[in-house]
Amino acid sequence: MNVIISASELASDLAGARPPVLLDVRWQLSMAKATGEPSFDGRAEYAAGHLPGAVFVDLDRELAAPPGRGGRHPLPDLGEFGAAMRRAGVSADRPVVVYDGGQGWAAARAWWLLRWTGHPDVRVLDGGLAAWQGPLSTEVPRPEPGDFEPVPGETGLLDADAAAALAKSGLLLDARAGERYRGEVEPIDPVGGHIPGAVSAPTTQNVGPDGRLLPADELRARFAALGVTDGTEVGVYCGSGVSAAHEVLALAAAGVPAALYAGSWSEWSADPNRPVAVGPDPQ
């Protein structure tokens, strides 16, 4: 699956007859509980300079519903999500490229949502804005409204019960940092640890020092070492369904389909009746 695009390829596509819609999804997670702010968006960074023609997308408000029982970043209302995408100029028959500051997590959340709701041609700028060598703009575009109508996919999404079952029947990957998986620290959610049976697979290990995804063969080798074999049913979760989307992206680049547990640990750990495992082993 062609899920990423290089900066040079993007520059060529933008100069072509059918340039893609550009979405700027700069966002960063705050790891400090005391602030009361789980994340901040990149509006100021966008205003200071963005790819020409790119429309800013607010992850917390347009790619997620308000925090609640479904976690810190529940899936957005699809009517509101569709309206936001149409305002940004997204149409079903026009390619879309999403980017963020370089970490790739926020861009992957937008990629996953668009793909899961039926858009056929969405890619992430590999390496994000940091990889872009072309000019930047401070002009805020006013795109023609698009026609994209999101339709939820029949597969590719897990709830808490399905994630628990997959940890036993298939392979459930935990995309968070290893120390959070082991329960040694928990800077955001109320309880540390992991879903019993889940395998630690930090998504930060899917990229190289330059912030770009590892080559597909290296990703395939990494996931094989984690237990991915032909026919393995794979799911991914993280803290709130953002960095896990990046792991789903990496799996897709390696040719492995995977489902996302959108509620992730923020939903799981908020329910005292759900079991929690600690330590380096899945169980």
Taking CA 203 as the corner, what is the angle to CA 56 and CA 26, rounded to the nearest 5 degrees?
10
Element (H, E) at 158: strand 157-158
Q: How far apart are CA 188 and CA 244, in angstroms?
A: 16
Q: How far apart are CA 7 and CA 5, in angstroms?
A: 7
Strand ordering across the sheet containing 157-158 = 157-158, 259-261, 234-237, 171-174, 199-200
| Residue burial 44-68, b: 16+ Cβ < 10 Å; e: rest | ebbeeebbebbbbbbbbebbbbebe
| 8-state DSSP, 56 | E
DSSP-assigned letters across all residues of 58-74: -HHHHSSPPSBTTBSSP
Taking alpha carbons only, the member of 166, 238, 233 closest to residue 201 is 238
Contact residues for 85 (Cβ-Cβ < 8 A; gap 6+): 114, 146, 148, 150
Q: How far apart are CA 201 and CA 78, in angstroms?
A: 29
63, 238, 245, 249: which is the annotated catalytic residue? 238
Compute how many other C-beta atoms are within 10 angstroms of the C-beta atom of residue 3: 20
Q: Would residue 238 show up in a list of annotated catalytic residues for this protein?
A: yes
Q: How far apart are CA 123 and CA 94, in angstroms?
A: 12
Which residues are part of the catalytic machinery?
A: 238
